[in-house]
Chains A and B, each alone.
Chain A
């Protein structure tokens, strides 16, 4: 079980950039959670923060617990035993997430050398069977090839294979559907549905994709959690105005996009009030004050509309 406890990430440049602010959720064993949000909402930073993969310039607060033990307090040696073995990270496929100078087979099998004591040769042989699970076609040749010969979709699937190589309990995936056409997205979704018992924490900006692969969805907006709930409920009856607007923007739902504005910049958040205020159709006077995270049934939502409906407000904020 993975617990994210009040995690905040700040980058100090000329002015402070608050990338993630007080996000909390729990990822029980075997569950699949999608982190949804637009570009710059802080979802990828949050994912990297879990395994302490952020650059040194990032200032973090809060804690991340793995089965009750803090990952953030661990010594590096201990952390190295978790990384890739218990919790693995599947990077975005678009960039140079695979080393351009090393064969794909070696990179896919590397976690096995690190955590299962396999020799280089054994690990490379195993990587072929790992690749085969994701139907890349002629896996023997592809394992010997270099990343630049792969298409985006192939790279993405190879990286999922790399992520599950050492049989981890939890897979963290960063935008696995980014930049892929619909058919490839469906393929990647299928790949994730094969994870079975493993827990999945998947960052995406694609709500439809999130709907296919997750049982819970957490919506982030401007560094904050604005809604959390079971996937089906959230997709059919969203609570937060932002989630509603986002669902309306999906092509299948009429692609109704309000181009009025973007999320506020990551600075000067204090005294801003609700960060969705200036884009929200239901904006009220009270929205000049930051709403807490209200609990409505098994869902959580950060919006004053639910002040009465909620039993308890998260008073931590």
Chain B
């Protein structure tokens, strides 16, 4: 186990290093002068014609004239010190921009992860353990439907029905900017209701299908028959023998979802005007705000690698076959 753990951690650290390096060189090797992105295309050509020296001084300021190696080392240093520079879009530090968004994303993503995971997992176990019974017959078609229809489609329809037509919930945004304390909390909850419900519904249906198929597979495994032959009750068979095996794919999936907790759902955030990480990333990419986009990318890559590491460790703890080479 110790050796396995060390190998996994080293792999994760190396992966993050590679991601940082590749993202650095990818940006540098993109066609065109980086100054173009920095000052904007029109401004760039204007300056190129009228004031090339100004352009040169900007390049100097951002260190774009230094050799690639020097730039690379400086970049690594900035990553380690978490200094990701100034956003092109609003000239504020990138980190500050991100921190003003990240809590809104987490406000949606963590409840989605927990509620969707628990609900989908539990219902999936029940449906998989008793296939063809009422619960399975009702839930499986619903889950299949949700799994095949894109979330943005349902999102827009729900918005039209519940927010526009029925006026149960606000049409978008996170708050109405009124009140403090309880009033504000209630206001935020009201804004959260629809996007959160949709996210939970989708997450739940995915986890439900995964858990159901996993349990129904393990239910027919030889060792389940063996367990029954010893005189174990159904409950002991399920919780002692079946669940442990059926949990493996579910746990891996839960860890992977954890990796996405900070990146947010771009679709849902855009539809509901939710100013979270998903929207920040979306806006950064469309307005060519490279420092912001790069930082968002790094956060999401870092989280995915960490989630991978966590799932490797957890699976290694539960499944003895994994830790042997």
Contact = CB atoms under 8 A, between A and B. Distances in A.
A102 interface: yes
Contact of A146 (B223, B245, B320): B320
Interface in A168-216: none
Given A83-B229, A114-B230, A96 B222 contact: yes
Nearest to A82: B231
Nearest to B228: A53
A114 B321 CA distance: 27
A95 B222 CA distance: 7
Nearest to B234: A76
Contact of B233 (A80, A99, A111): A80
A83 B321 CA distance: 30
A100 B222 contact: no
A219 B197 CA distance: 62
A146 B244 CA distance: 14
Contacts of A148: 320-321, 324
Residue from B229, B233, B245, B319 whose CB has the most chain A CB atoms within 10 Å: B229
Contact of B244 (A95, A97, A101): A101
B232 interface: yes
A98 B226 contact: yes
A84 B230 contact: yes
Nearest to B241: A99
A110 interface: yes
Interface string B99-126: 0000000000000000000000000000
Nearest to B220: A55
B244 A51 contact: no
A80 B231 contact: yes
B223 A114 contact: no
Contacts of A42: none
A88 B227 CA distance: 11
A85 interface: yes
| Size bin of chain B's contact surface | 20 to 34
A10 interface: no
A102 B245 CA distance: 10
Contact of B321 (A85, A88, A146): A146
Contact of B223 (A48, A77, A82, A96): A96
A53 B229 CA distance: 7
A91 B226 contact: yes
A81 interface: yes
Interface in B191-234: 220-223, 225-234
Interface in A144-171: 146, 148, 159, 162
Interface string A97-121: 1111110000100110011000000
A115 B324 CA distance: 35
A100 B234 CA distance: 19
A91 B229 contact: yes
Contacts of B233: 76-77, 80
Contacts of B229: 51, 53, 83-84, 88-89, 91
Contact of A81 (B227, B231, B318): B231
B230 A83 contact: yes
12 contacts: A55-B220, A77-B233, A83-B228, A83-B231, A84-B231, A88-B230, A97-B223, A98-B223, A102-B241, A102-B244, A110-B232, A111-B231
Given A98-B223, A99-B227, 18 more contacts: A77-B233, A80-B233, A81-B231, A84-B229, A88-B230, A89-B229, A91-B229, A92-B222, A96-B221, A97-B223, A99-B244, A100-B223, A100-B320, A101-B245, A101-B318, A102-B244, A146-B320, A148-B320
Shortest beta-carbon contacts, A-B, top 9: A89-B229, A83-B231, A84-B230, A84-B231, A146-B320, A99-B223, A80-B231, A97-B222, A95-B222
